Amino acid sequence: MRYIISADSTCDLSREQIEENRIGIIPLHIELGGEEHVDGVDIVPDDIYAYVDGGGELAKTAAVNPDEYGTYFEKWAAEYDFVIHINISADFSSCYQNACIAAEDHDNVYVVDSRNLSTGHGLVVMEACRLAAEGKGAEEIVAYLNDLTGRVEASFILEHLSYLRKGGRCSSIAALGANMLRLRPCIEVKDGKMGVGKKYRGNFVHCLRDYVRDQIEGREDLDLTRIFVTHTKMPDETVAAAVETIHELQPFTEVCETMASCTISTHCGPGTIGVLFIRKE
């Protein structure tokens, strides 16, 4: 069987993972300073940070529309026996709804809601690649993925709240208080939605290590195949502290480091890092 596994650009997989697994990627749209860009094609997160640092407004993200998905699926559907496309959570974007509309024109195009974002979304994509490589059929893969989405754990810890404040997701007073107290909130994805979890306090690297411990220490329910450390603009030594802590706590076969795409960078800004993994069945 010839197949293609595909995803929105929000999956935040590395270039190497995308190329090795022949993953199709369709980019979301990014509006910055009144101009429309294509995520990862003619704009990268550093462009957003530079614009905002210079006094500009936050970027805005826009979903792939049904016509764009239609053109994209038409090419793959004609070439492959089946196409499985995995979207960012329907609670974060209309991408899933739009992809479903476009897929109605093709009997061999299957659309899956990852119920997640960033490499939480990417973990679902990687599992789809694994199953397809093992020779599983499209319907079997889709059924497995729909069950899997409830076992993906994704969270991030934020060094500061400036982008959340600018985007109206956090009041100026709350952001000021958090900065004065050096509070570092954890943002968790549960049932496809984002919410605030535990708040850490103090030196960021110290908070980061505590956050990683809280996520994985002593747990026996983890699928130890792969864990992602995904971040926006972050010093190498900070990322290394997260990776080191993971190795101290759990014997994951793969610890994958990736940079977040424009979409999550737009909302969280630089100084955001998370660990993302799967629970056992």
Prediction pTM value: 0.93
> Which option is the CATH number for 151-279: 3.30.1180.10, 3.40.50.620, 2.40.50.140, 3.30.750.24?
3.30.1180.10
Query: What was the pLDDT predicted at 161?
Result: 67
* Buried b / exposed e along 210-227 (16+ C-beta atoms within 10 A): bbbeebbeeeeebbeebb
pLDDT value for 98? 98
Distance between CA atoms of 128 and 160, rounded to whole angstroms? 35
What number of other Cβ atoms are within 10 A of residue 75's Cβ? 12
CA atoms within 13 A on the CB side of 72: 27
Task: Give the model's pLDDT for residue 166.
Answer: 52
CB 163 within 8 A of CB 45: no
**CA 220 → CA 128, 249, 280, distances in Å?**
24, 11, 9
Tell whether the model's pLDDT for residue 74 goes beyond 60: yes
Q: What is the pLDDT of residues 83-133, one digit of tens each?
A: 999 999 999 999 999 999 999 999 999 999 999 999 999 999 999 999 999
Task: Report how far residue 42's alpha carbon sits from residue 63's, in angstroms, rounded to the nearest whole number.
Answer: 16
Q: Do domains 3-150 and 151-279 have the same CATH topology?
A: no
- Other Cβ atoms within 10 Å of 183 Cβ, number: 18
Q: Where are the domains of the chain?
A: 3-150, 151-279
Count of beta carbons in the 10 Å neighbourhood of residue 55: 6
CATH class of the region 3-150: alpha beta
| Residues 221-232 pLDDT 10s | 999 999 999 999
Taking alpha carbons only, the member of 75, 59, 61 closest to residue 24 is: 75
pLDDT in tens, 154-210: 999 988 766 654 544 433 333 333 444 467 888 888 888 878 788 898 899 999 999
